[in-house]
Amino acid sequence: MEYAHAKIRKVFESSDRKARVNVLERQDGLFEFRAYVERYEEGAYWSPTEISGLYESAEEAERGALNEVPWLRQFCGGGRT
């Protein structure tokens, strides 16, 4: 997955690889996260589930994702990275 406005800084994947969160560094120096699930309708594709607001750092974006994405809290041990 690529973005025209940002670089991927970190990717979290669920254990079944059917969900992911990308932490992005935008061209303006701010950060955001985007969460997706894999869906199958006439072929496989990634469907967005959460798109965050803007954060000052990658760490803040990760903390925001931990608060918003339930499976990510379990993946990261109850909210710790």
81 in any annotated domain: no
Residue 77's pLDDT is: 54
CB atoms within 10 A of CB 69: 22
Rounded to whole angstroms, the Cα distance separating 6 from 8 reads: 7
55 in any annotated domain: yes
Rounded to whole angstroms, the Cα distance separating 19 from 46 reads: 8
Residue 1's pLDDT is: 74
**pLDDT-derived band of residue 79, with 50, 70 and 90 as boundaries?**
very low
61 in any annotated domain: yes
Residue 2's pLDDT is: 84
What is the DSSP secondary-structure string of 1-54? ---SSEEEEEEEE-TTSSEEEEEEEETTS-EEEEEEEEEESSSEEEEEEEE---
pTM: 0.84
Query: Domain range holding 66?
Result: 6-75
How confident is the model over 5-62, as pLDDT tens digits?
A: 999 999 999 989 999 999 999 999 999 999 999 998 888 888 999 999 999 999 999 9
29 in any annotated domain: yes
Task: Give the chain's domain count.
Answer: 1
